[in-house]
């Protein structure tokens, strides 16, 4: 399982904010919700909307282009918005010593 380093530290991810990071050439969306960190693909499956510009409604991420809804915990598309399909989610690891954010892409 490859674990990839981001250029981000734990304090860079504010509660309820969306942040895009390029990790080893892949665009990944990160968020901190209720003290837990989540990562998923950052491009909407419908027409490529930039999910970092979306809005959060609890754990629902709403795409800014056509309001497709994803669960940030799993990157699964909501059945309410059947024009989007599931994306890939990733495990986020925070290095205790350096506070660096790592992404498990395995």
- Give pairs for 40-48: CB < 8 Å, separation 24+: 40/70, 40/72, 40/75, 40/87, 40/88, 40/89, 40/90, 41/75, 41/87, 41/88, 43/87, 44/68, 44/84, 45/77, 45/84, 45/85, 45/86, 45/87, 46/83, 46/84
pLDDT of residue 33: 94
pLDDT of residue 56: 95
pLDDT digits (tens, 9 = 90+) for 41-51: 999 999 889 99
Domains in the chain, CATH or no CATH each: 13-91 (2.102.10.10)
pLDDT of residue 93: 93
pLDDT digits (tens, 9 = 90+) for 8-27: 899 999 999 999 998 888 89
Q: What is the pTM of this model?
A: 0.91
Mean pLDDT (the chain) is 92
């Amino acid at each position: 399982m490859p674990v990839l380093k981001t250029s981000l530290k734990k304090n860079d991810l504010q509660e309820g904010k969306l942040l895009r990071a390029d990790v080893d050439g892949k665009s990944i969306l990160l968020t901190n919700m209720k003290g837990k960190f989540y990562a998923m693909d950052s491009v909407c499956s419908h027409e490529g909307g930039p999910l970092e510009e979306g809005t959060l409604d609890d754990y629902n991420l709403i795409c800014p282009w056509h309001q497709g809804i994803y669960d940030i915990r799993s990157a699964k598309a909501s059945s309410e918005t059947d024009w989007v399909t599931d994306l890939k989610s990733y495990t986020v690891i925070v290095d205790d010593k350096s506070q660096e954010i790592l992404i498990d892409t395995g």
